[in-house]
Amino acid sequence: MTVTSSAQRSPTDGRATADATEPIARAYDEAGFVSHVRATLGPNALLNSDFERSMYRRDAGILKSEPLGICMPANVEELRSIVAACHRFSVPFVPRGGGTGLAAGAIAGGRSGRAIVIGLNRFDRIEIDPQRRVAWAGPGVVNVDLGRAAAAHGLWFAPDPSSQIASTIGGNVATNAGGAHCLAYGVTSQHVLALDLMDGYGQVHRLGGGAPELDGLDLRGVTVGSEGTFGLVTDIQVRLLPTPPVTETLLVSFTTVTGAAEAVTAILAAGCTPAALELMDQGAVELTEAYAKAGWDTSAAAVLLAEFEGLPNQVRTDVEITMESVTAFGGHRITRATDPQHRAQLWKGRKAVAGAIARVAPDYYLQDVVVPRSALATSLDRVIAAAAEQRLKVVNVFHAGDGNLHPLLLIDRSEPDVEQRVLAAASAMIAIAKEVGGTLSGEHGIGLEKRDFMCDFLSEDDLDAQWRLRRAMEPTGLANPGKVLPSPHSCADMKPSLVPEGAWL
């Protein structure tokens, strides 16, 4: 990683080579593609041994599908050559960052021939302009590395997905990632000022970053969250925020999960503006406490982590109101972080969940549905029942402030028919979200995993509008095909499956 402080990153060369704009002349030609890439970029430009391909068959989710090969370009020129070759030989490509995605968005499994995975990890330059409070970050920059670089200037990057120690800014842009603090600061889209997008012809376009209004359609805005289906993001300008003067962190125990959920409602109804409101049920607390030793109360039915940031009097008032609200709903054993170290320790209990699971189960499956805040408590009970019905152990950690549930099913794949039971429980959870007016994914994305469930949440006309946007933004159809949107008109006779054709468990 290179960190510099230059004022402004120059726009990437936007010209396409003659080769890149040549219309698709041939049908899918895997052998032609491989030899062309190796001839132009060198023998190591494309990895495709059985071992190498197997390394890229998964992200952090449960689906598998192997790419035809893997490219790890060092710069925009190499990337352009690879994309031009993809176009010439009709080979689809899948952009990939840290591989921490949970919806199989960054694995192959496209519907039109085997795809290559393009790892953007070497695009890892950071340039910070502390005066203007902006930074340019390559898509391969790891989220926490941008945070550390910004902290040197008293600034920070707000999106903080739980995967942040490994997930990349490019991946955060692809999924429009949230995180614990997006309750107050908003999701990734609100922090991306501009981006460079390479289309399926190899041409780079700078989207956004100009005048704040009257400047045409918001191409930057629609690209954030497009899961690599609009092309490859090669550079990203983000907004950095000044470090808040005061932070207060509270940890509160509850005797019932419902009480905790109601307390969350009361805190928000009282006009508080917390930076984060995170809930964990007893199972989750027991799991992480044994691992992280964060001082969380394992006897409580649920534990709420509430954080407030800003100016001292505002924060104090919010904390006072929160104390009253939580007490009214059975909150007790309130721990207040005394210093930054103590705060980090309290957060460790929340952020260590995924790591802690490894102590008790070889694998896990994580859902990401969102329910309206008002339906939080009842939905949670039903989610727990759905897991129990399939004889699966579930722990719940979630962003309570915005209704984003994250039930974690702890599994051992050597158990009989466990995969079928996981899929049945997951489908039931999706049905619950739909019933209460919630949504299919809050922050992980649709990818391959949830693609066919789009039919349950969007009408045929809604999907048609999505396809119009997809076609207009990436006309070649080679960028991450088969992700996010089900084939047009396929909904009518489809029974949705979390394991679509072309992928396996």
Partner 1 sequence: MTGRDPAADIAAQLSTAAAEARPVEVWGGGTLLGRMEDATRVHGAQRLEARPGASVVAYEPVDLVITVGAGMTVHELDELLAANGQECPLDPIGGETSTVGGRVATALSGPRRLGCGPVRDWLLGVTFVTGDGVVARGGGRTVKNVTGFDLPRLLSGSWGTIGVLVDVTLRVRPRPRWSAWYWTDGPVDSWLDRIHAPVAVLTGPSATAVLLEGHPDDGADQARCAGLVEGEAPAIPGPARCSVAPGLLPTLVAELPDHGWLAQWGVGVVHFAEDSDFTRLDPLRERGDAILLRLDGGPEPDLAREPRQPEHHRRLRDEFDPSRILAPWRFST
- Residue numbers 445-504 binding partner 1 by CB under 8 A: 445-446, 454, 457-459, 461-462, 464-466, 468-473, 475, 484-485
212 touches partner 1 (CB under 8 A)? yes
218 touches partner 1 (CB under 8 A)? yes
87 CB-near residues (< 8 Å, 6+ apart) = 20, 22, 24, 200, 201, 202, 476, 478
Choice between 35 and 189, CB closer to partner 1: 189
| Closest approach of partner 1 to the CB of residue 484, in Å | 7
| Closest approach of partner 1 to the CB of residue 55, in Å | 27
Return the structure tokens found at 505. Answer: 């468990």
182 touches partner 1 (CB under 8 A)? yes
339 CB-near residues (< 8 Å, 6+ apart) = none
The position carrying tokens 């805190």 is 267
Choice between 322 and 404, CB closer to partner 1: 404
| Closest approach of partner 1 to the CB of residue 427, in Å | 16
366 CB-near residues (< 8 Å, 6+ apart) = 61, 102, 406, 407, 408, 409, 444
Question: For partner 1, how many residues bind (rule: CB under 8 A)?
Answer: 80
d(CA 115, CA 30): 9
| Closest approach of partner 1 to the CB of residue 440, in Å | 4
321 touches partner 1 (CB under 8 A)? no
d(CA 448, CA 481): 10
∠ CA 330-331-334, rounded to 5° = 155
161 touches partner 1 (CB under 8 A)? no
| Closest approach of partner 1 to the CB of residue 441, in Å | 5
d(CA 101, CA 122): 18
Pick from 486, 409, 488: nearest CA to 450: 486
Instruction: Considering only the stretches 159-167, 204-212, 253-261, 334-342, report the one whose residues sit in contact with partner 1 under the rule CB under 8 A.
Output: 204-212
310 touches partner 1 (CB under 8 A)? yes
Binding mask 232-271 for partner 1 (x = CB under 8 A): ----------x-xx-------------------x--xx-x
Length of the chain equals 505
Binding mask 266-305 for partner 1 (x = CB under 8 A): --xx-xxx--------------------------------
Q: In which region does residue 207 sit, left (phi positive, over 0), alpha (psi from -120 to 50) or beta (all else)?
A: beta
**Where would I find the H helices in 245-375?**
257-269, 282-292, 312-328, 340-351, 353-357
The position carrying tokens 């600034």 is 155
Contact set for partner 1, span 124-143 (CB under 8 A): 132
Cβ atoms within 10 Å of 24's Cβ, excluding its own: 14
416 touches partner 1 (CB under 8 A)? no
List the one residue from 2, 10, 44, 313 that touches partner 1 (CB under 8 A).
313
List the one residue from 181, 351, 421, 444 that touches partner 1 (CB under 8 A).
444
176 touches partner 1 (CB under 8 A)? yes
Contact set for partner 1, span 352-371 (CB under 8 A): 370-371
d(CA 394, CA 2): 41
**482 and 112 Cβ atoms separated by less than 8 Å:** yes
Choice between 345 and 480, CB closer to partner 1: 480
Which amino acid belongs to residue 2? T
| Closest approach of partner 1 to the CB of residue 67, in Å | 24
| Closest approach of partner 1 to the CB of residue 394, in Å | 21
Choice between 392 and 463, CB closer to partner 1: 463
List the one residue from 40, 314, 427, 497 that touches partner 1 (CB under 8 A).
314
